[in-house]
């Protein structure tokens, strides 16, 4: 399993979002409170953000635990963004361990993260058949050997055909769950303006107010005027800095 977080709102430092809050994403890398599979998230991490000049999203990813990278505090204090996606990784057995396997994955203006696991994931395209939308070239070009990278490729295939992001995510989650009923398929997808998130097999929470929204695997203990809300299992969430909507039952 993993822990991940997406933010939309006024420009903020990565440190305020990830490192400063008690029980925040940084601390969840070694002391998650609601993680039911695995104990620590020490198989890498990734920080993704959208520059304030409107350029494409940038990433910083490593294959080491986030607490073991001495560059993180300085980077997190210097980078400011109004749209962030970050994750700490607990790898699925049989997946690659290099930094290319750490979320967020990227395609154009989209950033993506997967919190969960898919059993026998290497056979998934075969079991999905034509519904996968992937040819041999797409499979050979996977960014990493992992269930998360394959799930991302399935979603990219739909996005590039013009499907709205929420439909692409919900369609892939339903299709994968149909052939892998035990799969855990919590995902975050953002284009810097909207966050599409699913809760499917693990926890998902959001906090909204003051012109900003946080969507996360589990809440932090930051003192704010706005409460965390738990998202029901098997559902999809749409969030912008202007509002949050639980849109689809999965």
DSSP state of 187: E
> In the chain, how many domains are there?
1
Q: Tens of pLDDT along 9-56?
A: 999 999 999 999 999 999 998 867 766 666 676 789 999 999 999 899
- In sequence order, what are the residues at sequence separation of 6 or more whose Cβ sits closer than 8 angstroms to the Cβ of residue 67? 26, 29, 30
Strands 80-89 and 2-13: antiparallel
Q: Tens of pLDDT along 162-183?
A: 999 999 999 999 999 999 999 9
**Residue 36 confidence (pLDDT):** 62
Sign of CA dihedral 111, 191, 163, 188: positive
User: Environment class of residue 118 by beta-carbon count within 10 Å: exposed (0-12), middle (13-18) or buried (19+)?
Assistant: buried
Q: H-helix or E-strand containing 212?
A: strand 212-216
Nearest Cα residue to 41 out of 103, 110, 112, 94: 103
**SS3 string of 50-75?**
CCCCCCCCEEEEECCCHHHCCCHHHH
Q: Which residues are catalytic?
A: 2
Angle at 186 (CA atoms; ends 82, 231), nearest 5 degrees: 75
227 has a pLDDT exceeding 90: yes
Categorize the per-residue pLDDT at 91 as very low, low, confident or very high, splitting at 50, 70 and 90: confident
Sign of CA dihedral 90, 96, 97, 100: negative
Look up the CATH number of the domain holding residue 188.
3.60.20.10
**Residue 204 confidence (pLDDT):** 96
**Residue 90 confidence (pLDDT):** 82
**Residue 138 confidence (pLDDT):** 79
**Residue 112 confidence (pLDDT):** 98
Looking at per-residue pLDDT, the higher value among 225 and 140 belongs to 225
Collapsing DSSP to helix, strand or coil, 164 comes out as: coil
Segments forming the whole domain that contains residue 111:
2-249
| Whether 205 contacts 218, CB under 8 Å | yes
């Amino acid at each position: 399993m993993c822990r991940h977080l997406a933010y939309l709102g006024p420009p903020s430092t990565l440190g305020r979002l990830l490192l400063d809050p008690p029980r925040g994403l940084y601390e969840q890398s070694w002391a998650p409170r609601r993680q039911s599979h695995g104990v620590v998230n020490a198989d890498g991490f990734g920080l993704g953000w959208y520059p304030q000049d409107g350029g494409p999203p940038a990433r910083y990813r490593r294959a080491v635990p986030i607490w073991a990278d001495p560059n993180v505090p300085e980077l997190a204090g210097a980078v400011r963004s109004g749209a962030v996606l970050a994750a700490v990784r607990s790898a699925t057995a049989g997946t690659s361990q290099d930094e290319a396997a750490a979320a967020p994955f990227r395609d154009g203006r989209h950033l993506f993260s997967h919190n969960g696991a898919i059993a026998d994931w290497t056979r998934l395209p075969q079991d999905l058949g034509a519904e996968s939308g992937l040819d041999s070239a797409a499979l050979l070009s996977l960014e990493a050997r992992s269930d998360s990278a394959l799930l991302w490729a399935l979603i990219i295939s739909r996005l590039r055909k013009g499907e709205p992001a929420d439909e692409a995510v919900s369609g892939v989650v339903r299709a994968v769950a149909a052939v892998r009923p035990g799969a855990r398929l919590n995902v975050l997808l953002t284009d810097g303006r909207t966050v599409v998130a699913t809760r499917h097999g693990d926890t998902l929470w959001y906090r909204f107010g003051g012109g900003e929204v946080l969507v996360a695997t589990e809440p932090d203990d930051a003192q704010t005027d706005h409460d965390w809300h738990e998202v029901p299992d098997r559902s999809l969430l749409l969030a912008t800095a202007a509002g949050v909507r639980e849109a689809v039952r999965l």
